[in-house]
Chains A and B, each alone.
Chain A
Amino acid sequence: MVAVSGPVPGGMLDVLTGFISELRGAGLPVSLTENLDAMEAIQHIPMEDREAFKYALAATLVKSNAHWRAFETVFDVYFSLRGPQWSVDGEDGEASAEAQAAAAEAMADARRQGEGKGGGAMEGLSAEELAEILFKAMMRDDQAMTRAVARESVTRYAGMEPGRPVGGTYYLYRTLRNLDLEGLMKRLMEAAKEEADGGLTPLEERLLKDEYELRIDQLRKEVEAEIRRRLVADRGAEAMAKTLRKPLPENVDFMHATREELVQLRKAVAPLTRKLAVRLARKRRHGRKGPLDFRNTVRHSLSYGGVPAEPKFRYPRPSKPEIMVVADISGSVAAFARFTLHLVHAISSQFSKVRSFVFVDGIDEVTRFFEGVEDITEAIQRVNTEADVIWVDGHSDYGHAFEVFWERWGKEITPKTSVLLLGDARNNYHASQAWIVKEMRKKARHVFWLNPEPKSYWDTGDSIVGEYAAHCDGVFECRNLKQLEGFVEHLA
């Protein structure tokens, strides 16, 4: 094609192959075409431009923003330790010398007297002096300095030992605890207030705080990167990549999501609902034939000399379903119920009516919490705190909940209603009352059950999902957003 900057160096091909297989291991769908594109792309990038190298790989290999984080992690592990020529921020080269010089200067600064030997590294500093340097670096937004302090802190506080089978979060925790970030934040704000004569307005204070938070976050990232770098040195890139492997947001299991993952999941739900709404609205238009499409018919008639031999039709609009969601919100399935409620209400325009019920051993209708609110997260919050769902002891009792449901709302199920039952059907050995589901199905258009547990656990221990399944139109495993999305699409 066009002039090439240079052939891919010998080892590069292997490194890239290893890198891509690691991306696949992390769940990224890299096709053969993309693999080849990446190879070609890096030939056009000057070898010394590490930043461009990273973007070239991302542009050819990562086709979804949700996968960017996974890409970055693998990238860091892979290329931060392939010798200095593969390190993206060049921290082993000049930047490091720069930081050393800055450290020396800051040391002199910290001691005022300037009796420091100059040029030395940070080892000689006391804990207080190190904290002082960090404080100044934060104040001035001195990134090289921040990085140098992060490294020194890991050396001092993390207590890393070769071969020790401890995860990175442990070291991170130990290091950060010693850096006392909260105290640092307080000091920064106080210094800023002192500096501003006439004091800070609330707005100014807010903006400053946001700025410092970002800087402290940067420090946290530097510490994390440093720990990772040392772990890779100790254990090798492949092993590290494996331990750092995390499920992509759409595959995170509802039942075992960490708090951080839950935050990410919540973020992922918003675009998902938008997506679903658009797609469902579109889908509704397809299907059986509707009225004649005049223009299209004329267009096709031309092949028959102007005779409209092949009439064309528009698509009709089928009627929208009504939904009743009945969700177990006890303990471990709560997260799952939350996302499902969220999703169903967010796309409620796709249904002619949505009603929600939540239960543990008692049951309550919560539709009212969603009416007229703009913020579904807030509604969900209210469901969790205000719904009246405890009857006896707060352990799931599907049988009793269904009985009350049937008595109070059963009449309102019509042939237009789709009933969604959500839960793991772990009934604490209470009576199942499965006959109710059978009766529901007689009146409703569909009865579906969504279970957030892996299929292999169904009907083990006190799970009685099989008893209910016998009377449902379908029981679906629904462990992550991807499966949930798939089901909702199927529904509308």
Chain B
Amino acid sequence: MTDTKPIAGQTEARFTDIPSVRDALQSVDYLADEGIAGIVYLADRLGKPVLIEGPAGTGKTELAKSVARMTGARLIRLQCYEGLDESKALYEWNYKKQLLRIQAHRVVESEADGAAAAGDGATWQGIEEDIFSDDFLLTRPLLEAIRATDPVVLLIDEVDRVEVETEALLLELLSEYQVSIPELGTVVANQIPLVFLTSNNTRELSEALKRRCLYLHLDYPDLEREKQIVLTRIPDIGDHLADQIVRIVRSLRALELKKHPSVSETLDWARTLVLLGIENIGAEEATSTLHILLKYQSDITKAAKELSVAPNH
């Protein structure tokens, strides 16, 4: 009745070395630096989940997706939100189906009338066993990842949004790669999947969770890497324009703003400039399109001023 199985052998190493991880990521259009590639490599070797923290739009989610793509694995994603609970993350009993099953049982019972009164208890026990079996189980992402027989990458996105108490749900999974279901027993993974958790750091995650993970802080990429990202993601952009874009973005990130431009905003901006047929950015072009890069009016005003007045030195 329980489908408890040991982890089938040991999962084979997926990568030979760090440079090959970096190359493979690049082949699916993800530009990694040595730190990123190194952690993906270690996650596989140590069989540990990776916790990725960092500002919005720096490629946290994209990294997990890219790893799935480059290993030819299926991506299973659990999007976290406040109020997420076991029934959405792990599994749920299909209670409608269960109720119907119970009702069917009652109908049979009343038809048989008092005649079977003696056997009643035993029958209920049978029913109970039946309704808490696999047929009535709804699999949610975490359980799905554990039970998968094909290669999967599990992405637990924005884990900082769930309550601390809900984090506890993840602990068993992340350290033992298994899930306990009271009515069914323990379900052990067929393989050790690659697991990525992302966080925007809106709250401190528990020590227990962090201890189980490798930690990667994804910050804004450096100039050269961001330029490569732009060139890769927007093939018809010129080298000169790409260079200007990332320099301006870098300067904006050095200002004190409410929200700094993210990589996705750099890309949006680059696309816009290409569409507008701009090949060289002057103060004019920059200030008139700043709203794509920055989200707050006060930031836009500040940036426009900084970009159109020569610095005093």
Contacts and interface: CB of A to CB of B under 8 A. Distances in A.
Contacts of A45: 18, 38, 42
Given A55-B35, A62-B215, A306-B99, A44 B42 contact: yes
Contact of A210 (B124, B251, B258): B251
A302 B251 contact: no
B60 interface: no
Contacts of A37: 46, 48, 214
A277 to B, nearest CB: 8
B99 A302 contact: yes
A3 B131 CA distance: 45
B298 A203 contact: no
Nearest to A286: B163
Interface stretch (B146-154, B231-239, B271-279, B281-289): B281-289
B10 interface: yes
A409 B21 CA distance: 65
A374 interface: yes
Contacts of B217: 65, 68
Interface string B276-313: 00000111001000000000101000000011111101
Interface in B212-263: 213-217, 244, 247-248, 250-251, 254, 256, 258
Interface string A40-51: 110011100101
A40 B46 CA distance: 8
B204 interface: yes
B296 A271 contact: no
B26 interface: no
Contacts of B54: 65
Interface string A292-316: 0000001100100110000000000
A198 interface: no
Contacts of B42: 41, 44-45, 56, 59
B186 interface: no
Interface stretch (A26-34, A232-240, A434-442): A26-34
A374 B215 contact: no
Given A3-B13, A31-B211, A206 B99 contact: no
- How big is the A interface, by class? 35 or more
Contacts of B51: 63
Nearest to B136: A302
Given A31-B211, A37-B46, A209-B311, A46 B298 contact: no
B132 to A, nearest CB: 9
Nearest to A31: B211
B311 A205 contact: yes
A185 B311 CA distance: 12
A34 B308 contact: no
A320 interface: no
A1 B10 contact: yes
Given A1-B47, A210-B247, 5 more contacts: A33-B211, A59-B215, A207-B247, A210-B250, A302-B102
Interface of B: 10, 12-13, 17-18, 34-35, 38-39, 41-42, 45-48, 51, 53-54, 82, 87, 92-93, 95, 98-99, 102-103, 124, 131, 163, 201-204, 207, 210-211, 213-217, 244, 247-248, 250-251, 254, 256, 258, 281-283, 286, 296, 298, 306-311, 313
Leading 7 A-B pairs by shortest Cβ distance: A202-B310, A63-B210, A2-B13, A44-B45, A59-B214, A65-B217, A55-B38
29 contacts: A1-B10, A2-B10, A2-B13, A37-B46, A44-B42, A44-B46, A52-B18, A55-B38, A56-B42, A59-B39, A59-B215, A63-B210, A63-B215, A64-B210, A65-B217, A185-B313, A186-B313, A200-B310, A203-B281, A203-B282, A207-B248, A209-B311, A210-B250, A271-B201, A299-B87, A302-B98, A302-B102, A302-B131, A377-B256
